[in-house]
Amino acid sequence: MLNQLTISELAAKLLHRKVSSREAMQACLDQIARVDGTIHAFISHNAADALAQADAADKQIASGVIKPLLGVPIAIKDVLAVKGQPLNCASKILGNFTSTYDATAIEKLKAAGAIIFGRCNMDEFAMGSSTENSAFGVTRNPWDTSRIPGGSSGGSAAAVAADECIASLGTDTGGSIRQPAALCGVVGMKPTYGRISRYGLVAFASSLDQIGPFTKDVRDSAILLGAMSGVDPRDSTSVPQPVPDYTKALTGNVRGLKIGLPKEYMIGGLDAEVKAAVDTAVKKFTELGAEIVEISLPHTDYAVAVYYIIATAEASSNLARFDGIRYGARIEGNDPLELYSKTRGAGFGDEVKRRIILGTYVLSSGYHDAYYLQAQKVRTLIRNDFLKAFETVDAIITPTTPTAAFKIGEKSGDPLQMYLSDIFTISCNLAGIPGISVPCGFTKNPKLPIGLQLLGKPFGEETMLRLAHAYEQATAWQREKPPL
């Protein structure tokens, strides 16, 4: 079925006119009609607009235009601006807001010919690990619909796993691409901080946020990374580092590469089946000729605490703009203060309010030094741990998550338990390094996907992708499909 194809497979068929973009888009729409009533990966999608984009792509193909993503349907997390499409961040506070411009990443994908369609569900303002914090209802895991798909980009992950699109975009502030990718059995990558412009991404924690792809294999991840990367004058944190052809890094040869296994990551809360799958993957890398070295990241224990200070501090500042005056929903009051508090009180969900309150507290006078400044210092120590490790290794291997997908409702009443599900993904954002999650097996009963995380040096995406691709070729876990 066309909706099951990878980007590289579909692009080849389109190029040789074996299929049309309209047929591929229609196959995705048919799959959405068939399964999304249950999965709810999408908050909304505009079928007519998607088909019109497909027809335009088919015209270009017919006239001999060649572009890497021409006619390929890609779904978008509801936190990225797409001109003319709704933008809600899965919150009520934006009301019926419509984007007036394209995010840079979207502009680049459009320039490469992609069909940009659908608004994927997520935790409100990307705060969460389960997509249960959405004002538009929960998304279900395609492998077991009583379970969460992960979060915050749960809709984007589920849409790819359920073949409702060819690939999708998410964002990752503390694991929001890699964690749902692991729990849904797809490939998810967070690039180096500064690799992809954040212009047009609604900010959660600006020093941690990155855009990245969800794909059906590692090659597609390399393709989308290449298409979206590059410096952007509209994001001063984007880096003028040349953009290589990342697919060239996928040589299949990992002989002689050194992979670090951090001893701090084999912790108590790690599920036995997840640990076994990662141990087996480590062996596989040895068979492929890579060398595994034990390393230490001594400040790992502080990562979750540091993250929940820095991320909430930045969120409290970033979300101040949703005040009922500038955009979105408004509840009138007798004076501006009453208008703000009524609008924000009704517009934000519980988790977002919790973060704003926490973030305001850690920034407040008297506590700023003890919390925020201290956290910034420990963040530097965490980054230095990685930089030191990368003096001796080319990449680092860890589980992506401590457990497979949990039940809907299981952790929603206990924020701390929820926060701990990001224990392996958060350090990567604090350090600003790239990370990818690839499928590495399944739990037995029930059968749920398990993810393996590879972390790379700053701007070391090529080596990271080479390792992920070689592993994928040697195992093929990513070919298994959920029972839909």
Tally the residues of the chain.
484
Residue of 68, 128, 260, 449 that binds ligand GLN (CB under 6 A): 128
Q: Which of 20, 134, 176, 421 is catalytic?
A: 176
127 is a contact residue toward ligand GLN (CB under 6 A) = yes
The answer to whether 437 is a known catalytic residue is no
Residue of 21, 139, 156, 176 that binds ligand GLN (CB under 6 A): 176
The answer to whether 284 is a known catalytic residue is no
We find the least distance from the C-beta atom of residue 188 to ligand GLN, in angstroms, to be 11
Q: Which of 13, 77, 411, 457 is catalytic?
A: 77
Nearest to 53 by CA among 105, 122, 120, 109: 109
Residue of 71, 149, 175, 347 that binds ligand GLN (CB under 6 A): 175
Stretch that binds ligand GLN, among 172-180, 234-242, 264-272, 470-478 (CB under 6 A): 172-180
User: Which is closer to ligand GLN, CB of 107 or CB of 422?
Assistant: 422
User: Which is closer to ligand GLN, CB of 120 or CB of 259?
Assistant: 120
Instruction: Report the alpha-carbon distance of residue 294 to residue 255 in Å, rounded.
Output: 18
CA 439 from chain centre, in angstroms, equals 15
User: Which is closer to ligand GLN, CB of 85 or CB of 401?
Assistant: 401
We find the least distance from the C-beta atom of residue 20 to ligand GLN, in angstroms, to be 36
User: Which is closer to ligand GLN, CB of 50 or CB of 120?
Assistant: 120
220 is a contact residue toward ligand GLN (CB under 6 A) = no
Instruction: Report the alpha-carbon distance of residue 184 to residue 165 in Å, rounded.
Output: 14
Using Cβ positions, the residue closest to ligand GLN within the complex turns out to be 176
Residue of 129, 168, 215, 427 that binds ligand GLN (CB under 6 A): 129
User: Which is closer to ligand GLN, CB of 73 or CB of 180?
Assistant: 180
Q: What are the distances in angstroms from CA 67 to CA 227, 386, 455, 464? A: 11, 37, 30, 26
The answer to whether 77 is a known catalytic residue is yes
435 is a contact residue toward ligand GLN (CB under 6 A) = no
Side chain identity, residue 338: E
Stretch that binds ligand GLN, among 110-118, 173-181, 284-292, 390-398 (CB under 6 A): 173-181
173 is a contact residue toward ligand GLN (CB under 6 A) = yes
Nearest to 257 by CA among 457, 435, 463: 463
124 is a contact residue toward ligand GLN (CB under 6 A) = no
User: Which is closer to ligand GLN, CB of 129 or CB of 463?
Assistant: 129
We find the least distance from the C-beta atom of residue 415 to ligand GLN, in angstroms, to be 9
Q: Contacts with ligand GLN in 267-326 (CB under 6 A)?
A: 311
User: Which is closer to ligand GLN, CB of 69 or CB of 454?
Assistant: 454
152 is a contact residue toward ligand GLN (CB under 6 A) = yes
Stretch that binds ligand GLN, among 17-25, 126-134, 225-233, 236-244 (CB under 6 A): 126-134
Q: Contacts with ligand GLN in 374-433 (CB under 6 A)?
A: 422
Q: How, if at all, do strands 115-120 and 435-442 pair?
A: unpaired
Stretch that binds ligand GLN, among 127-135, 192-200, 328-336, 449-457 (CB under 6 A): 127-135
Residue of 174, 347, 434, 458 that binds ligand GLN (CB under 6 A): 174
Q: Contacts with ligand GLN in 47-76 (CB under 6 A)?
A: none
Stretch that binds ligand GLN, among 70-78, 120-128, 316-324, 433-441 (CB under 6 A): 120-128
We find the least distance from the C-beta atom of residue 413 to ligand GLN, in angstroms, to be 15
Q: Which of 91, 129, 152, 229 is catalytic?
A: 152
Nearest-10 Cα torsion for 333, 94, 410, 406 = -170
User: Which is closer to ligand GLN, CB of 176 or CB of 192?
Assistant: 176
Residue of 69, 76, 106, 126 that binds ligand GLN (CB under 6 A): 126
Q: Environment class of residue 365 by beta-carbon count within 10 Å: exposed (0-12), middle (13-18) or buried (19+)?
A: exposed
We find the least distance from the C-beta atom of residue 362 to ligand GLN, in angstroms, to be 14
Instruction: Report the alpha-carbon distance of residue 53 to residue 153 in Å, rounded.
Output: 24
We find the least distance from the C-beta atom of residue 390 to ligand GLN, in angstroms, to be 23
We find the least distance from the C-beta atom of residue 258 to ligand GLN, in angstroms, to be 28
| Interface residues toward ligand GLN, by CB under 6 A | 126-129, 152, 172-176, 204, 311, 422
Active site residues: 77, 152, 176
